[in-house]
Structure 1
Amino acid sequence: MLAATDFIVSKNDLHDFAFTPSQTDELKEGEVLLKVEHFAFTANNVTYAAFGEAMSYWSFFPAGAEDKGRIPVWGFATVAASRHPEIVEGERLYGYLPMSTHLKVSPTQVKKGSFFDGAAHRQRLADVYNQYTRCAGDPSYEPAQEAYQMLFKPLFTTSFLIEDQLRDQDFYGAKAVVISSASAKTSIGLAFLLKKNGLLKKNGGIRTVGLTSPGNADFVRALGCYDAVVTYDGIGSMEKEKAVFVDIAGNGDVRRAVHERLGGDLAYSMLVGGAHWDKGAGGAGDLPGPAPEFFFAPTQIAKRLADWGPAGFQNRIAEASAAFAAFAQGWMNVREGKGEEAIVKTYRAALDGTIRPDEGHILSFG
């Protein structure tokens, strides 16, 4: 038995949380114990919690009580103990982890560069979250870039897949893409790709409009990714044109304002995130224009794996990610926090939406 610590939250009240001691059982044949080294915490993780039931995010790492959950994060772990013949102690891994000090996995489909967790409760869940990268077998792994990998790889992959779906659908006939929470990293990645790939649009380009708070407007404009930046209080006077709405904020009042402003000019409404997780209900009920549709990244991943094959899919993301990483290092400041106090401070700031847009937080239990 090994003493461990879990960061447990109430599914019904994300402000209700506690560090809870736990015990890991003795490993069975074929099992591996991971020690979580560090992880990124962003608005994306708040989205995992806000949509934990609807999108099954709570199901990956059960907390032992139906009304409690462990928020998934992306980070690095070390093999603390192994009873698997192909996985050795000390090996470093990257993947989907709980906010805990330890995680027990059952590796399957073991290859030089990766394996999947074969735990029974994860088999009905999306494979993209069950795969762990073995750093020693990953040619793109650079120890000095771990922070950027944790912060941007999952977020930028979502950005890539959103842009890919929109482009695949010829932007649903729209002339503009309106993106809420324009200062969020997923939004910035999407805007970066829309600008980078704009010339691929048959009608000569797509206009990108970022919606943000007055306090973040200058930062968003300085990025140079958006053709126009509109503050939330200015949505009512936003230019009316055939548009797609990509809702990263998940703020119901913002969603309703956009739908009411664009009305019949709104070609498609995509609900992606919950950066404004606590304000989601304002847009409930009938809305002008098309009903919002959830974007679920694994669906687009499955489509592109079939179209391009695993190597082709990874190569396309790697090429786009490299360009974005170079861009992001010009404005992103990495902040590292260790211990329970640092975790709580960052968690509360993420819930309250007070993390600066030019900061990326890397956390560890100590």
Structure 2
Amino acid sequence: MTKRFEVQRNAIRETRWAETPSASLEDGQVRLHVDAFALTSNNITYAAMGDALNYWAFYPTGDPTTGCVPVWGFADVVESHCGGVEPGERFYGYWPIADEVVLAPTDVGPGGFSESSPHRRELPPFYNRYVRCSADPGYSADGEAQQALLRGQFGTGFLLDDFFADSDFFGARTVVLSSASSKTAYGAAFCLAQRRDSAVGVRVIGLTSPGNLDFVTSLGCYDHALTYGEVATALPEAPSVYIDFSGSSAVRAAVHERLADRLKYSCAVGATHWDAPAGGTEPLPGPAPTLFFAPSQIEKRIADWGPAGLQQRVAASWAAFIEPVTRAENPWLTVVRGTGPAAIEATYTALLDGTVPANEGHLLSV
């Protein structure tokens, strides 16, 4: 039997565990045991935007009212009918919250493979690539938790920084980020902060809740941190770009109203405030918010730099980022491990409620 965590697509607090008979493998398929995965606010964004951005399409449940939230983590091959993918091999990639999964590898090579099941073929290649751990220069067994918890989010942060730098920050030199304590936000802020002493240096301002203000300030990658209640009076009235990780219509409106024509670009990324979604009917001052879709920037940079060139740049930036994340004194991330349905349900609910401490990262197994 295969056990899988499913949610109601139109009411993501409602969940269930589904058990189905394990499918027999066809030629070209492999079965993997999902060993460990991260569950963060990023996955809440996947659920909240599952229909809008097609996240439900990766692991369909067979029931159009339910969906499977994808997660980043590690799985081991337990059975293979595919040449070049052997039992016992470990892969990093995009999995369901389940104990096992069947994939159909294609483009198998030393570095890994791409998933080619019919329902995945039209989905972004970024999410369909599975990396062979034994061939991944950035992999270490001791660093699996940090990789699962942060590598995908950091990749988005890297691409956001690259997108804005490539556009000369639309003429602005201040970047405002909401949900500044979220892992994707401080990954982006870290990359932006590396430009402080360069010709394209920018001031980075983080917006957060009062309870996370001290944590955001302690990170050191924000030049200034404000609570959401301070936006209307204390956000500097300078030419700025806004990166919205919260998805909160109230926060977005406050930023637009404060900056108005000084806001040069408004970028929507996530929905950590999933229960206060953006998208009100009243027009906002300043530019219309534009959705950022990381795979589009990946495709641009692969065309510019080639796959190896992009990988090298991300790897170098990741190596610098991981130092403060894992340092012995005051690390940015404390790993919390859990096993079993109860641990998964508790973490999922805490993420929905916004009660997971900002410095915690949960690594889970079914």
TM over 0.5: yes
Work out the CA distance in 2 between the residues paired with 1:212 and 1:354.
14
Which residue in the other structure is 1:355 paired with? 356
Which of the numbers 86, 99, 102 marks the counterpart of 2:97?
99
Which residue in the other structure is 2:113 paired with? 115
Moved more, 193-202 or 353-362: 193-202
SS of equivalent residue, structure 1 residue 311: helix
Displacement after TM superposition at 1:39 (Å): 0.1
Which residue in the other structure is 1:186 paired with? 184
Which residue in the other structure is 1:174 paired with? 172
Under a length normalisation based on structure 2, what TM-score does the superposition of the two structures give? 0.97
Work out the CA distance in 1 between the residues paired with 2:177 and 2:303.
28
* Contact 1:251/1:283 (<8 A) preserved: no
Under a length normalisation based on structure 1, what TM-score does the superposition of the two structures give? 0.97
Matched, 1:229 2:230: no
The structure-2 alpha-carbon separation of the partners of 1:282 and 1:55, relative to structure 1 and needing over 3 Å to count, comes to closer
* Contact 2:195/2:202 (<8 A) preserved: no
Which residue in the other structure is 2:287 paired with? 290
Q: How does 1:1-366 map to 2 (within 5 A)?
A: 3-202=1-200, 205-237=201-233, 238-281=235-278, 283-329=280-326, 330-365=331-366
* Contact 1:260/1:287 (<8 A) preserved: yes
Displacement after TM superposition at 1:285 (Å): 3.3
Identity, in percent, stands at 47
Moved more, 242-251 or 133-142: 133-142
SS of equivalent residue, structure 2 residue 275: helix
The structure-2 alpha-carbon separation of the partners of 1:284 and 1:193, relative to structure 1 and needing over 3 Å to count, comes to farther
**Matched AA of 1:127:** P
Work out the CA distance in 2 between the residues paired with 1:354 and 1:251.
17
Displacement after TM superposition at 1:283 (Å): 4.0
Work out the CA distance in 2 between the residues paired with 1:281 and 1:160.
24
* Contact 2:238/2:259 (<8 A) preserved: yes
**Matched AA of 2:299:** A
* Contact 2:252/2:278 (<8 A) preserved: no
Displacement after TM superposition at 1:175 (Å): 1.9
Work out the CA distance in 2 between the residues paired with 1:240 and 1:283.
24
User: Gaps (5+ residues) in structure 2?
Assistant: none
Give the count of matched residue pairs.
361
Deviations 1:264-296, CA, capped at 9 Å, x for gaps: 111000000011111014644311111101000
* Contact 1:11/1:49 (<8 A) preserved: yes
Displacement after TM superposition at 1:200 (Å): 3.0
**Matched AA of 1:226:** Y
Deviations 1:113-168, CA, capped at 9 Å, x for gaps: 11001101101000010000111222322111100110111000000000000000
Work out the CA distance in 1 between the residues paired with 2:63 and 2:279.
30
Moved more, 345-354 or 133-142: 133-142
Work out the CA distance in 2 between the residues paired with 1:298 and 1:87.
26
Work out the CA distance in 1 between the residues paired with 2:46 and 2:279.
20
The structure-2 alpha-carbon separation of the partners of 1:91 and 1:10, relative to structure 1 and needing over 3 Å to count, comes to same
**Matched AA of 1:21:** E
Work out the CA distance in 2 between the residues paired with 1:25 and 1:282.
41
RMSD: 1.0
Runs of 4+ in 1 over 3 A off after TM superposition: 281-285
* Contact 1:170/1:201 (<8 A) preserved: no
